Amino acid sequence: MRKKRTHPAVEKATEYVGYTALPGNRSNFGPPGTNWDGSFINEIFRGLKYDTPSHQYSASALAFYMRSSRVFRDPKPGDIVFFAYPPGNSGALEAPHLGVISDVGSWRAHRTFKSIEGQTSTGLPKGPQEHNGVYERVRHETDVLCFVRPKLKVLKVLRSSKLLTLNMRSLPGSRSGVPVIRTSHLTKCTNPARAREAGPKIQKSVEIVQLALANHHAVRLQNADRGVFNLKTRRALSAFQRFNGHVNPDGTPDVATLRLLADQTGNFFEVGE
């Protein structure tokens, strides 16, 4: 009988079981002074072929899964569980604690499951009680806010858009012929008057960014004022930054954000310094 294959996220998470953070709850996963259970989930899914947002801000991640209809009532190994309490069981009104489902053998009979979690305690009566490690815990249905199921990535390369064709013809390109966009192009077009003053070529840069935001599954920008990097487009870029765990997701167009946007939407433009 063929052995059932372990979900790659569970296999990777298992390797970290027993890890403990440094004093002050400083871990290898998240920025100092922040909860790192979500950053642990990011580490688990990094490099795997699943479409996942950043989980550093677990409430934003949950919003993405809800919009994508990836919320389920019954768990499977590899699912992400959002608990009905924050990291450390502090009882405060904070973002949900997270874990990766590792075993569901007792779900039907007892409504319990096992999950591998960062920033938690051992759960054993005589074990360490500090919430500063990675452990596999037995949890009950009543602990759960919801289960979400990441799906495999499907990258849609943008090639057929009329808007994209216009941009390709109008913008200065790299040696490969791909348009080059600079952050200054966007900041010169923050309102219609400034956009007209900047000129058609600069406006085309904004249109390409708007096209990428319109086609990104976590943003889906609609009815943008073409060629104008106004509040609506900036909010869309902010949503993209939150999806990727940007430290300050305020919609400011920096080089790293634009390069990530290009990478996640088919690399049909490049970003200049």
pLDDT tens track for 217-227: 888 899 999 99
Task: Give yes or no for residue 118 having a pLDDT over 50.
Answer: yes
Query: Comparing 218 with 15, which gets the higher pLDDT?
Result: 15
Tens of pLDDT, residue by residue over 238-262, are 999 988 888 788 999 999 999 999 9
How far, in Å, CA of 139 to CA of 143, rounded?
7
Q: What is the pLDDT of residue 146?
A: 96
Instruction: Please write down the HEC assignment for all residues of the chain.
Output: CCCCCCCHHHHHHHCCCCCECECCCECCCCCCCCCCHHHHHHHHHCCCCEECCCCCCHHHHHHHHHHCCCEECCCCCCCEEEECCCHHHCCCCCCCCEEEEEECCCHHHHCEEEEEEEEECCCCCCCCCCCCEEEEEEEEHHHEEEEECCEECCCCCCCCCHHHHHHHHHCCECCCCCEEECHHHHHCCCCHHHHHHHCHHHHHHHHHHHHHHHHCCCCCCCCCCCCCCCHHHHHHHHHHHHHCCCCCCCCCCCHHHHHHHHHHCCCCCEECC
Confidence of residue 1 (pLDDT cuts 50, 70, 90): low
Q: What is the pLDDT of residue 208?
A: 93
Tens of pLDDT, residue by residue over 34-86, are 789 999 999 999 999 898 999 988 988 998 899 889 999 999 999 999 999 98
Task: Give yes or no for residue 173 having a pLDDT over 90.
Answer: no
How far, in Å, CA of 232 to CA of 96, rounded?
29
Q: What is the pLDDT of residue 69?
A: 92
Please provide the average confidence, as pLDDT, over all residues in the chain: 86
Confidence of residue 171 (pLDDT cuts 50, 70, 90): low
- pTM for this entry: 0.75
- The total of other beta-carbon atoms located within 10 Å of residue 82's CB is 21
Q: What percent of the chain stands above pLDDT 90? A: 58
Q: What is the pLDDT of residue 168?
A: 46
Confidence of residue 163 (pLDDT cuts 50, 70, 90): very low
Q: What is the pLDDT of residue 25?
A: 78
Task: Give yes or no for residue 11 having a pLDDT over 50.
Answer: yes
CA dihedral 97, 102, 104, 107 (to 10 degrees): -20
Q: What is the pLDDT of residue 166?
A: 45
In the chain the domains, ranked by start, together with CATH numbers, are: 8-152 (3.90.1720), 162-271 (no CATH)
Q: What is the pLDDT of residue 157?
A: 47
Task: Give yes or no for residue 158 having a pLDDT over 80.
Answer: no
How far, in Å, CA of 237 to CA of 224, rounded?
12
Q: What is the pLDDT of residue 18?
A: 94
Which of 54-58, 91-95, 180-184 comes out lowest in average pLDDT? 91-95
Q: What is the pLDDT of residue 243?
A: 87
Q: Give every CB contact of residue 16 below 8 A, 6+ residues apart in sequence.
A: 40, 43, 44, 116, 118, 134
